[in-house]
Chains A and B, each alone.
Chain A
Protein backbone atom coordinates (compact mmCIF):
# COMPACT_ATOMS: atom_id res chain seq x y z
CA UNK A 1 0.00 0.00 0.00
CA UNK A 2 1.52 3.27 -1.06
CA UNK A 3 -1.13 5.52 0.37
CA UNK A 4 -2.83 5.72 3.73
CA UNK A 5 -6.21 4.09 4.12
CA UNK A 6 -9.08 6.35 5.03
CA UNK A 7 -11.82 5.35 7.45
CA UNK A 8 -14.96 7.38 6.82
CA UNK A 9 -17.55 7.61 9.59
CA UNK A 10 -21.17 8.72 9.67
CA UNK A 11 -21.98 11.88 11.62
CA UNK A 12 -25.69 12.35 12.19
CA UNK A 13 -25.22 14.42 15.35
CA UNK A 14 -22.50 16.32 17.16
CA UNK A 15 -22.20 13.39 19.60
CA UNK A 16 -21.52 11.01 16.72
CA UNK A 17 -19.16 13.47 15.08
CA UNK A 18 -17.00 13.68 18.20
CA UNK A 19 -17.24 9.91 18.72
CA UNK A 20 -15.93 9.41 15.16
CA UNK A 21 -13.06 11.84 15.62
CA UNK A 22 -12.05 10.45 18.99
CA UNK A 23 -12.20 6.84 17.75
CA UNK A 24 -9.79 7.58 14.92
CA UNK A 25 -11.85 8.31 11.81
CA UNK A 26 -9.98 10.07 8.99
CA UNK A 27 -13.12 11.61 7.58
CA UNK A 28 -16.80 12.08 8.33
CA UNK A 29 -19.87 12.46 6.14
CA UNK A 30 -22.99 14.41 7.05
CA UNK A 31 -26.01 16.05 5.45
CA UNK A 32 -27.59 19.46 5.78
CA UNK A 33 -31.07 20.71 4.84
CA UNK A 34 -33.28 18.32 2.86
CA UNK A 35 -31.19 17.18 -0.11
CA UNK A 36 -29.58 14.20 1.61
CA UNK A 37 -30.53 10.62 2.30
CA UNK A 38 -31.54 11.29 5.91
CA UNK A 39 -33.84 14.22 5.10
CA UNK A 40 -36.55 13.04 7.46
CA UNK A 41 -34.19 12.57 10.42
CA UNK A 42 -35.19 14.47 13.53
CA UNK A 43 -31.82 16.12 14.04
CA UNK A 44 -30.76 17.13 10.57
CA UNK A 45 -27.94 19.65 10.42
CA UNK A 46 -28.43 23.14 8.99
CA UNK A 47 -26.15 25.45 7.01
CA UNK A 48 -25.03 27.03 10.29
CA UNK A 49 -24.02 23.60 11.59
CA UNK A 50 -21.94 23.04 8.47
CA UNK A 51 -19.59 25.86 9.43
CA UNK A 52 -19.19 24.50 12.94
CA UNK A 53 -18.63 20.91 11.75
CA UNK A 54 -15.95 21.95 9.27
CA UNK A 55 -14.20 24.02 11.96
CA UNK A 56 -14.20 21.12 14.43
CA UNK A 57 -12.94 18.68 11.80
CA UNK A 58 -10.19 20.99 10.58
CA UNK A 59 -8.96 21.35 14.16
CA UNK A 60 -8.73 17.56 14.33
CA UNK A 61 -7.32 17.10 10.83
CA UNK A 62 -10.38 15.15 9.71
CA UNK A 63 -11.83 15.47 6.21
CA UNK A 64 -15.47 16.49 5.71
CA UNK A 65 -17.88 15.15 3.12
CA UNK A 66 -21.27 16.67 2.53
CA UNK A 67 -23.98 14.31 1.32
CA UNK A 68 -25.98 15.87 -1.49
CA UNK A 69 -27.29 12.68 -2.97
CA UNK A 70 -31.07 12.67 -3.38
CA UNK A 71 -32.92 12.68 -6.67
CA UNK A 72 -33.15 16.35 -7.65
CA UNK A 73 -36.07 18.20 -9.21
CA UNK A 74 -35.93 21.56 -10.98
CA UNK A 75 -37.10 23.31 -7.83
CA UNK A 76 -34.14 21.89 -5.88
CA UNK A 77 -31.47 23.38 -8.10
CA UNK A 78 -31.27 26.77 -6.37
CA UNK A 79 -30.90 25.13 -2.96
CA UNK A 80 -28.40 22.60 -4.32
CA UNK A 81 -26.25 25.43 -5.71
CA UNK A 82 -26.53 27.35 -2.46
CA UNK A 83 -25.38 24.29 -0.50
CA UNK A 84 -22.46 23.70 -2.89
CA UNK A 85 -21.43 27.36 -2.68
CA UNK A 86 -21.50 27.26 1.12
CA UNK A 87 -19.56 23.99 1.16
CA UNK A 88 -16.90 25.46 -1.12
CA UNK A 89 -16.72 28.67 0.90
CA UNK A 90 -16.40 26.88 4.22
CA UNK A 91 -13.80 24.44 2.99
CA UNK A 92 -15.74 21.15 2.95
CA UNK A 93 -13.43 18.53 1.44
CA UNK A 94 -15.96 17.16 -1.06
CA UNK A 95 -19.64 16.75 -1.89
CA UNK A 96 -21.08 13.23 -2.23
CA UNK A 97 -23.41 13.33 -5.23
CA UNK A 98 -25.60 11.00 -7.26
CA UNK A 99 -27.47 13.42 -9.51
CA UNK A 100 -25.52 14.74 -12.50
CA UNK A 101 -26.87 18.26 -11.83
CA UNK A 102 -25.15 18.32 -8.45
CA UNK A 103 -21.86 16.82 -9.61
CA UNK A 104 -21.78 19.10 -12.63
CA UNK A 105 -22.30 22.26 -10.56
CA UNK A 106 -19.86 21.19 -7.86
CA UNK A 107 -17.19 20.56 -10.49
CA UNK A 108 -17.93 23.93 -12.11
CA UNK A 109 -17.18 25.80 -8.88
CA UNK A 110 -14.15 23.68 -8.01
CA UNK A 111 -15.74 21.66 -5.21
CA UNK A 112 -14.38 18.10 -5.13
CA UNK A 113 -16.97 15.46 -6.00
CA UNK A 114 -17.39 11.92 -4.72
CA UNK A 115 -19.95 9.57 -6.23
CA UNK A 116 -22.63 8.26 -3.88
CA UNK A 117 -23.80 4.68 -3.50
CA UNK A 118 -27.12 6.02 -4.80
CA UNK A 119 -25.51 6.00 -8.23
CA UNK A 120 -24.87 2.23 -7.76
CA UNK A 121 -21.67 2.18 -9.78
CA UNK A 122 -21.21 -1.46 -10.76
CA UNK A 123 -18.73 -1.56 -13.62
CA UNK A 124 -15.50 -0.05 -14.88
CA UNK A 125 -17.05 1.83 -17.82
CA UNK A 126 -19.29 3.73 -15.37
CA UNK A 127 -16.25 4.51 -13.23
CA UNK A 128 -14.58 5.97 -16.32
CA UNK A 129 -17.67 8.09 -17.04
CA UNK A 130 -17.91 9.49 -13.50
CA UNK A 131 -14.17 10.14 -13.42
CA UNK A 132 -14.83 13.31 -15.42
CA UNK A 133 -16.53 14.66 -12.29
CA UNK A 134 -15.22 12.72 -9.33
CA UNK A 135 -11.97 11.81 -7.60
CA UNK A 136 -13.52 9.19 -5.33
CA UNK A 137 -16.21 6.72 -6.32
CA UNK A 138 -18.04 4.40 -3.93
CA UNK A 139 -18.98 1.14 -5.57
CA UNK A 140 -22.39 -0.47 -5.24
CA UNK A 141 -22.67 -2.51 -2.06
CA UNK A 142 -24.08 -5.38 -4.09
CA UNK A 143 -20.91 -6.19 -6.02
CA UNK A 144 -18.82 -9.26 -5.38
CA UNK A 145 -15.27 -8.93 -4.31
CA UNK A 146 -13.94 -10.13 -7.68
CA UNK A 147 -15.90 -7.40 -9.43
CA UNK A 148 -14.47 -4.78 -7.06
CA UNK A 149 -10.94 -5.98 -7.69
CA UNK A 150 -11.35 -5.98 -11.44
CA UNK A 151 -12.45 -2.33 -11.29
CA UNK A 152 -9.51 -1.18 -9.14
CA UNK A 153 -7.07 -3.08 -11.39
CA UNK A 154 -8.53 -1.47 -14.51
CA UNK A 155 -8.23 2.01 -13.00
CA UNK A 156 -4.55 1.34 -12.48
CA UNK A 157 -4.09 -0.26 -15.89
CA UNK A 158 -5.89 2.44 -17.85
CA UNK A 159 -4.71 5.23 -15.55
CA UNK A 160 -8.20 6.63 -15.01
CA UNK A 161 -7.84 10.02 -13.38
CA UNK A 162 -10.30 12.38 -11.73
CA UNK A 163 -10.41 16.20 -12.01
CA UNK A 164 -7.56 16.48 -9.47
CA UNK A 165 -5.22 14.72 -11.89
CA UNK A 166 -4.78 11.78 -9.51
CA UNK A 167 -5.97 8.24 -10.12
CA UNK A 168 -9.62 7.80 -9.17
CA UNK A 169 -9.92 6.22 -5.73
CA UNK A 170 -12.38 3.48 -4.92
CA UNK A 171 -14.42 3.59 -1.76
CA UNK A 172 -16.31 0.66 -0.27
CA UNK A 173 -18.95 0.29 2.41
CA UNK A 174 -17.41 -1.94 5.05
CA UNK A 175 -20.04 -1.98 7.76
CA UNK A 176 -23.72 -1.32 8.43
CA UNK A 177 -27.14 -1.63 6.87
CA UNK A 178 -27.78 -3.15 3.50
CA UNK A 179 -30.86 -2.40 1.41
CA UNK A 180 -33.36 -4.97 0.14
CA UNK A 181 -32.96 -3.38 -3.28
CA UNK A 182 -29.88 -2.21 -5.13
CA UNK A 183 -29.09 1.08 -3.39
CA UNK A 184 -30.79 3.98 -5.09
CA UNK A 185 -33.26 1.80 -6.91
CA UNK A 186 -35.83 1.04 -4.24
CA UNK A 187 -39.34 2.39 -4.67
CA UNK A 188 -41.02 0.36 -1.95
CA UNK A 189 -41.47 3.20 0.52
CA UNK A 190 -42.57 5.54 -2.27
CA UNK A 191 -45.02 3.06 -3.73
CA UNK A 192 -46.63 2.22 -0.40
CA UNK A 193 -46.45 5.51 1.53
CA UNK A 194 -45.55 8.16 -1.07
CA UNK A 195 -42.40 8.58 1.00
CA UNK A 196 -39.43 8.28 -1.30
CA UNK A 197 -36.22 6.60 -0.16
CA UNK A 198 -34.51 8.48 -2.94
CA UNK A 199 -35.55 11.79 -1.37
CA UNK A 200 -34.16 10.73 1.99
CA UNK A 201 -37.53 9.69 3.40
CA UNK A 202 -37.37 5.89 3.43
CA UNK A 203 -39.89 4.42 5.86
CA UNK A 204 -38.10 1.07 5.83
CA UNK A 205 -41.15 -1.12 5.47
CA UNK A 206 -38.81 -3.82 4.16
CA UNK A 207 -37.64 -4.18 7.76
CA UNK A 208 -40.99 -5.53 8.99
CA UNK A 209 -42.27 -9.10 9.15
CA UNK A 210 -44.55 -10.36 6.40
CA UNK A 211 -46.90 -13.25 5.80
CA UNK A 212 -47.33 -15.04 2.50
CA UNK A 213 -50.96 -15.99 1.90
CA UNK A 214 -52.48 -17.85 -1.02
CA UNK A 215 -55.33 -15.52 -2.00
CA UNK A 216 -57.32 -18.29 -3.63
CA UNK A 217 -57.44 -20.61 -0.64
CA UNK A 218 -56.50 -18.25 2.18
CA UNK A 219 -53.76 -20.70 3.20
CA UNK A 220 -50.70 -19.16 4.78
CA UNK A 221 -47.34 -20.33 3.57
CA UNK A 222 -45.15 -21.50 6.41
CA UNK A 223 -41.87 -19.60 6.30
CA UNK A 224 -39.18 -19.93 8.91
CA UNK A 225 -38.39 -16.21 8.88
CA UNK A 226 -41.08 -13.60 8.40
CA UNK A 227 -38.51 -10.85 7.88
CA UNK A 228 -38.19 -11.90 4.30
CA UNK A 229 -37.11 -8.52 2.98
CA UNK A 230 -34.79 -7.29 5.71
CA UNK A 231 -31.15 -8.15 5.09
CA UNK A 232 -28.71 -8.52 7.94
CA UNK A 233 -26.07 -5.82 8.32
CA UNK A 234 -22.81 -5.93 6.46
CA UNK A 235 -19.71 -6.75 8.50
CA UNK A 236 -16.26 -7.04 6.91
CA UNK A 237 -14.05 -7.08 9.98
CA UNK A 238 -13.04 -10.68 9.18
CA UNK A 239 -11.61 -9.94 5.72
CA UNK A 240 -10.44 -6.37 5.87
CA UNK A 241 -7.09 -7.72 4.59
CA UNK A 242 -8.70 -8.76 1.31
CA UNK A 243 -10.35 -5.37 0.93
CA UNK A 244 -7.09 -3.52 1.48
CA UNK A 245 -5.20 -5.84 -0.86
CA UNK A 246 -7.75 -5.13 -3.57
CA UNK A 247 -6.70 -1.50 -3.87
CA UNK A 248 -9.72 0.06 -2.13
CA UNK A 249 -8.58 3.31 -0.49
CA UNK A 250 -11.59 4.56 1.44
CA UNK A 251 -13.55 2.43 3.93
CA UNK A 252 -17.01 3.75 4.67
CA UNK A 253 -19.16 2.93 7.66
CA UNK A 254 -22.93 3.23 7.22
CA UNK A 255 -25.16 4.74 9.89
CA UNK A 256 -25.97 8.45 10.03
CA UNK A 257 -29.10 7.48 11.93
CA UNK A 258 -27.19 5.51 14.56
CA UNK A 259 -26.29 6.50 18.11
CA UNK A 260 -22.81 7.81 19.03
CA UNK A 261 -21.80 4.56 20.76
CA UNK A 262 -22.31 2.72 17.45
CA UNK A 263 -20.01 5.21 15.71
CA UNK A 264 -17.45 5.00 18.52
CA UNK A 265 -17.34 1.18 18.48
CA UNK A 266 -17.43 0.63 14.71
CA UNK A 267 -14.77 3.25 13.96
CA UNK A 268 -12.62 1.97 16.84
CA UNK A 269 -12.77 -1.66 15.69
CA UNK A 270 -12.07 -0.96 12.02
CA UNK A 271 -9.30 1.51 12.93
CA UNK A 272 -7.61 -1.23 14.96
CA UNK A 273 -8.19 -3.77 12.19
CA UNK A 274 -6.61 -1.55 9.52
CA UNK A 275 -3.67 -0.68 11.79
CA UNK A 276 -3.18 -4.35 12.70
CA UNK A 277 -3.14 -5.28 9.04
CA UNK A 278 -0.50 -2.66 8.32
CA UNK A 279 1.62 -3.91 11.24
CA UNK A 280 1.19 -7.54 10.21
CA UNK A 281 -0.73 -8.46 13.37
CA UNK A 282 -4.18 -9.05 11.87
CA UNK A 283 -5.15 -12.36 13.48
CA UNK A 284 -8.20 -14.61 13.91
CA UNK A 285 -8.04 -13.99 17.63
CA UNK A 286 -8.34 -10.25 17.15
CA UNK A 287 -11.12 -10.66 14.61
CA UNK A 288 -13.15 -12.59 17.20
CA UNK A 289 -12.67 -9.83 19.77
CA UNK A 290 -13.67 -7.10 17.29
CA UNK A 291 -16.72 -9.08 16.17
CA UNK A 292 -17.88 -9.43 19.78
CA UNK A 293 -17.41 -5.70 20.28
CA UNK A 294 -19.33 -4.86 17.10
CA UNK A 295 -22.19 -7.04 18.34
CA UNK A 296 -22.57 -4.79 21.39
CA UNK A 297 -23.90 -1.87 19.31
CA UNK A 298 -26.85 -1.60 16.92
CA UNK A 299 -26.96 -4.42 14.39
CA UNK A 300 -29.56 -6.57 12.67
CA UNK A 301 -27.31 -9.57 12.96
CA UNK A 302 -24.21 -9.72 10.79
CA UNK A 303 -23.92 -10.95 7.28
CA UNK A 304 -20.18 -11.53 7.41
CA UNK A 305 -18.96 -10.63 3.99
CA UNK A 306 -22.20 -9.35 2.50
CA UNK A 307 -22.38 -9.59 -1.25
CA UNK A 308 -18.63 -9.03 -1.46
CA UNK A 309 -17.78 -12.65 -0.69
CA UNK A 310 -20.43 -13.84 -3.08
CA UNK A 311 -22.44 -15.69 -0.46
CA UNK A 312 -25.88 -16.85 -1.35
CA UNK A 313 -28.88 -14.83 -0.31
CA UNK A 314 -30.93 -15.81 2.68
CA UNK A 315 -29.12 -13.71 5.25
CA UNK A 316 -32.32 -12.14 6.54
CA UNK A 317 -32.40 -10.32 9.84
CA UNK A 318 -35.02 -12.48 11.58
CA UNK A 319 -35.78 -9.62 13.93
CA UNK A 320 -37.22 -6.12 13.92
CA UNK A 321 -34.64 -3.57 15.03
CA UNK A 322 -31.35 -4.36 16.64
CA UNK A 323 -29.75 -7.66 17.66
CA UNK A 324 -27.23 -5.89 19.81
CA UNK A 325 -25.85 -7.90 22.73
CA UNK A 326 -25.76 -4.81 24.96
CA UNK A 327 -28.27 -2.06 25.52
CA UNK A 328 -28.17 1.39 27.07
CA UNK A 329 -30.37 2.55 29.91
CA UNK A 330 -30.54 6.27 30.53
CA UNK A 331 -29.35 7.14 34.04
CA UNK A 332 -29.09 10.93 34.17
CA UNK A 333 -27.20 14.10 33.28
CA UNK A 334 -23.75 15.45 34.11
CA UNK A 335 -23.74 18.47 36.39
CA UNK A 336 -20.07 19.23 36.73
CA UNK A 337 -16.52 18.09 36.07
CA UNK A 338 -13.66 18.82 38.40
CA UNK A 339 -10.58 19.12 36.20
CA UNK A 340 -7.81 18.62 38.73
CA UNK A 341 -8.96 15.44 40.48
CA UNK A 342 -10.75 14.34 37.24
CA UNK A 343 -14.07 13.71 38.96
CA UNK A 344 -17.46 13.90 37.26
CA UNK A 345 -20.71 14.74 39.02
CA UNK A 346 -24.06 13.37 37.84
CA UNK A 347 -27.71 13.65 38.84
CA UNK A 348 -29.28 10.19 38.72
CA UNK A 349 -32.77 10.36 37.20
CA UNK A 350 -33.48 6.66 36.78
CA UNK A 351 -32.43 3.14 37.80
CA UNK A 352 -29.51 2.18 40.00
CA UNK A 353 -25.78 2.26 39.40
CA UNK A 354 -23.12 0.19 41.18
CA UNK A 355 -19.36 0.01 41.45
CA UNK A 356 -18.14 -2.21 38.60
CA UNK A 357 -21.00 -1.26 36.25
CA UNK A 358 -20.19 -0.51 32.63
CA UNK A 359 -21.33 2.98 31.68
CA UNK A 360 -21.44 5.27 28.69
CA UNK A 361 -21.20 9.07 28.72
CA UNK A 362 -22.18 10.97 25.54
CA UNK A 363 -22.21 14.64 24.67
CA UNK A 364 -21.95 16.96 21.66
CA UNK A 365 -18.38 17.98 22.56
CA UNK A 366 -17.42 14.94 24.63
CA UNK A 367 -18.40 12.38 22.01
CA UNK A 368 -18.42 8.96 23.71
CA UNK A 369 -16.70 7.76 26.88
CA UNK A 370 -17.12 4.09 27.70
CA UNK A 371 -15.78 2.80 31.02
CA UNK A 372 -16.41 0.84 34.19
CA UNK A 373 -17.11 2.61 37.45
CA UNK A 374 -14.18 1.89 39.76
CA UNK A 375 -15.36 3.88 42.75
CA UNK A 376 -18.52 5.79 43.53
CA UNK A 377 -19.30 8.65 45.92
CA UNK A 378 -22.47 10.15 47.31
CA UNK A 379 -22.29 13.27 49.51
CA UNK A 380 -18.51 12.81 49.37
CA UNK A 381 -18.78 9.41 51.04
CA UNK A 382 -17.73 6.21 49.33
CA UNK A 383 -20.72 4.02 48.43
CA UNK A 384 -21.25 0.73 46.58
CA UNK A 385 -24.36 1.87 44.74
CA UNK A 386 -26.66 4.82 44.16
CA UNK A 387 -30.27 5.15 43.04
CA UNK A 388 -32.63 7.52 41.22
CA UNK A 389 -32.57 10.96 42.86
CA UNK A 390 -29.00 10.68 44.13
CA UNK A 391 -26.24 13.08 43.18
CA UNK A 392 -23.12 11.04 42.57
CA UNK A 393 -19.47 11.60 41.72
CA UNK A 394 -16.87 9.22 40.35
CA UNK A 395 -13.51 9.46 38.58
CA UNK A 396 -13.52 9.82 34.78
CA UNK A 397 -10.15 10.28 33.10
CA UNK A 398 -11.52 12.30 30.15
CA UNK A 399 -13.33 15.63 30.47
CA UNK A 400 -17.10 15.47 30.97
CA UNK A 401 -19.33 18.50 30.33
CA UNK A 402 -22.57 19.68 31.96
CA UNK A 403 -25.65 18.03 30.41
CA UNK A 404 -23.67 15.11 28.97
CA UNK A 405 -25.84 12.00 29.19
CA UNK A 406 -25.01 9.04 31.40
CA UNK A 407 -26.13 5.54 30.41
CA UNK A 408 -25.83 2.14 32.06
CA UNK A 409 -24.75 -0.65 29.69
CA UNK A 410 -26.43 -3.98 30.30
CA UNK A 411 -26.45 -7.34 28.55
CA UNK A 412 -29.42 -8.16 26.35
CA UNK A 413 -30.84 -11.66 26.40
CA UNK A 414 -31.58 -12.17 22.73
CA UNK A 415 -33.94 -15.11 22.49
CA UNK A 416 -35.75 -13.96 19.39
CA UNK A 417 -35.55 -16.33 16.38
CA UNK A 418 -32.78 -15.98 13.83
Chain B
Protein backbone atom coordinates (compact mmCIF):
# COMPACT_ATOMS: atom_id res chain seq x y z
CA UNK B 1 0.00 0.00 0.00
CA UNK B 2 1.25 3.51 -0.75
CA UNK B 3 2.29 5.78 2.10
CA UNK B 4 2.10 9.52 2.63
CA UNK B 5 4.69 11.47 4.59
CA UNK B 6 3.76 14.95 5.80
CA UNK B 7 6.40 17.41 7.06
CA UNK B 8 3.78 19.34 8.97
CA UNK B 9 5.89 21.99 10.64
CA UNK B 10 6.51 23.82 7.34
CA UNK B 11 2.80 23.92 6.39
CA UNK B 12 1.54 27.42 5.54
CA UNK B 13 -2.13 26.45 5.78
CA UNK B 14 -3.11 27.17 2.17
CA UNK B 15 -5.80 24.46 2.20
CA UNK B 16 -4.85 22.98 -1.20
CA UNK B 17 -4.48 19.40 0.11
CA UNK B 18 -7.93 19.59 1.72
CA UNK B 19 -9.42 20.75 -1.57
CA UNK B 20 -7.80 17.88 -3.47
CA UNK B 21 -8.26 15.01 -1.00
CA UNK B 22 -10.79 15.99 1.67
CA UNK B 23 -11.09 12.44 3.01
CA UNK B 24 -7.42 12.41 3.98
CA UNK B 25 -6.73 16.03 4.91
CA UNK B 26 -8.25 18.62 7.18
CA UNK B 27 -7.11 21.93 8.62
CA UNK B 28 -6.49 22.27 12.33
CA UNK B 29 -8.55 25.07 13.81
CA UNK B 30 -5.92 25.33 16.55
CA UNK B 31 -2.85 26.24 14.51
CA UNK B 32 -4.17 26.65 10.96
CA UNK B 33 -1.94 23.91 9.51
CA UNK B 34 -3.16 20.80 7.69
CA UNK B 35 -3.59 17.44 9.39
CA UNK B 36 -3.00 14.12 7.64
CA UNK B 37 -5.99 12.12 8.85
CA UNK B 38 -5.09 8.75 10.39
CA UNK B 39 -1.36 9.48 10.53
CA UNK B 40 1.16 8.76 13.25
CA UNK B 41 4.08 11.02 14.14
CA UNK B 42 7.51 9.58 13.47
CA UNK B 43 10.13 12.09 14.49
CA UNK B 44 9.22 15.32 12.72
CA UNK B 45 7.12 13.59 10.06
CA UNK B 46 3.52 12.38 10.06
CA UNK B 47 3.04 9.12 8.16
CA UNK B 48 0.12 6.94 7.12
CA UNK B 49 -0.70 4.22 4.62
CA UNK B 50 -3.44 4.92 2.10
CA UNK B 51 -5.62 2.73 -0.12
CA UNK B 52 -4.91 2.54 -3.83
CA UNK B 53 -8.18 4.29 -4.62
CA UNK B 54 -6.98 7.30 -2.62
CA UNK B 55 -3.72 7.59 -4.49
CA UNK B 56 -4.78 9.85 -7.35
CA UNK B 57 -6.36 12.51 -5.17
CA UNK B 58 -3.38 12.52 -2.82
CA UNK B 59 -0.94 12.76 -5.70
CA UNK B 60 -2.78 15.93 -6.70
CA UNK B 61 -2.53 17.15 -3.11
CA UNK B 62 1.25 16.55 -3.19
CA UNK B 63 1.55 18.24 -6.59
CA UNK B 64 -0.34 21.34 -5.44
CA UNK B 65 1.40 21.77 -2.08
CA UNK B 66 3.24 25.12 -2.45
CA UNK B 67 5.84 24.25 0.17
CA UNK B 68 6.38 20.65 -1.06
CA UNK B 69 5.90 18.96 2.29
CA UNK B 70 3.68 16.09 1.11
CA UNK B 71 5.56 13.05 -0.17
CA UNK B 72 3.89 9.96 -1.65
CA UNK B 73 5.89 6.77 -1.14
CA UNK B 74 4.68 3.97 -3.43
A interacts with B: yes
Which A residues are closer than 8 A to B by beta carbons?
33-35, 39-40, 73, 75-76, 78-80, 193-196, 199-201, 203
Return chain B residues, CB-CB under 8 Å to A35: 32
Query: Which residues, 18 to 74 on B, are CB-close (under 8 Å) to A?
Result: 27-33, 64-67
Decide: A199 and B14 in contact? CB cutoff 8 A.
Answer: yes
Partner of B12, one of A39, A80, A193, A203: A39
Name which residue of chain B comes closest to A78, CB basis. Answer: B29
- For the complex, give the distance between the alpha carbons of A79 and B33 in Å: 9
Given contacts A34-B32, A34-B33, A35-B32, contact A75 B15 (CB under 8 A): yes
Contact call B66/A201, Cβ cutoff below 8 A: yes
Within the complex, which residue of B16, B27, B66 is in contact with A40, where a contact is CB–CB below 8 Å? B66
Q: A199–B14 Cα gap in the complex (Å)? A: 7
Q: Which of A40, A78, A193, A195 interacts with B30 by CB under 8 Å? A: A78
Q: B1-21 CB contact bits vs A (8 Å, 1 = yes)?
A: 000000000111111100000
Task: Indicate whether A194 sits within 8 Å of B32 (C-beta atoms), given known contacts A34-B11, A40-B66, A75-B27.
Answer: no
A201-B67 in contact (CB<8A): yes
Shortest CB-to-CB span from A69 to chain B, Å, is 14
Task: Give the complex CA separation of A193 and B32 in angstroms.
Answer: 21
Beyond A40-B67, A76-B32, A199-B13: 8 further Cβ-contacts under 8 Å? A75-B15, A75-B29, A75-B32, A78-B31, A79-B30, A79-B32, A193-B66, A194-B66
CB of A266 to closest CB in B, whole Å: 27
A-B contact count (CB 8 A): 52
Assess whether B67 is in contact with A78, with CB atoms less than 8 Å apart: no
A256 to chain B, nearest CB (A): 15
- Shortest distance in angstroms between A308's beta carbon and chain B's nearest beta carbon? 32
Interface residues of B (CB under 8 A from A): 10-16, 27-33, 64-67
A76 to B14, CA, bound (A): 10
CB distance from A83 to the nearest CB of B (A): 10
Whether B11 and A195, one on each chain, are in contact in the complex, defined by CB atoms closer than 8 angstroms, is: no
Contact status A201-B12, CB under 8 Å: yes
26 A-B pairs within 8 Å (CB atoms) are namely A33-B32, A34-B12, A34-B32, A35-B32, A39-B12, A40-B67, A73-B13, A75-B15, A75-B27, A75-B28, A75-B32, A78-B31, A79-B30, A79-B31, A79-B32, A193-B66, A194-B14, A194-B65, A194-B66, A195-B66, A195-B67, A196-B14, A199-B12, A199-B13, A199-B66, A201-B67
Give the interface centre of B15, B32, B67 by most chain A CB atoms within 10 Å: B32
The residue in A34, A73, A79, A196 that gathers the most chain B C-beta atoms within 10 A of its C-beta is: A34
Is B64's CB under 8 angstroms from A78's CB?
A: no
Could you tell me if A34 and B30 are in contact, using CB atoms closer than 8 angstroms?
A: no
What chain A residues lie within 8 Å of B65 (beta carbons)?
194
**How far is A78 from B27 in the complex, measured between Cα atoms in Å?**
12
Is B12 touching A40 in the complex (CB atoms < 8 A)?
yes
Distance between A225 CB and nearest chain B CB, rounded to angstroms: 29
Nearest CB in chain B: distance from A201 CB, A: 5
Determine the distance from Cα of A195 to Cα of B28 in the docked complex, in whole angstroms.
20
Shortest Cβ gap from A31 to chain B (Å): 11
Closest B residue, CB atoms, query A76? B32
Return chain B residues, CB-CB under 8 Å to A196: 14, 66
With known contacts A75-B32, A79-B31, A79-B32, A194–B12 Cβ distance under 8 A: no
Complex: how many Å from CA A255 to CA B69? 25
Q: Nearest B residue to A34 by beta-carbon distance?
A: B12
Q: How far is the CB of B39 from chain A (nearest CB, A)?
A: 18
Which residues of A have CB within 8 Å of B10? Answer: 40
Are B13 and A76 in touch, CB under 8 angstroms? yes
Residue of B nearest to A36 (CB): B12
Residues of B contacting A199 in the complex (Cβ-Cβ under 8 angstroms): 12-14, 66
Residues of B within 8 A of A34 (CB): 11-13, 32-33
CB distance from B7 to the nearest CB of A (A): 13
Bound complex: CA A203 to CA B30 (Å): 27
- What separation, in Å, do the CA atoms of A199 and B67 have in the docked complex? 11
CA distance A359 to B14 in the complex (A): 42
Chain B residues lying within 8 Å of A75, measured Cβ to Cβ, are: 13, 15, 27-29, 32
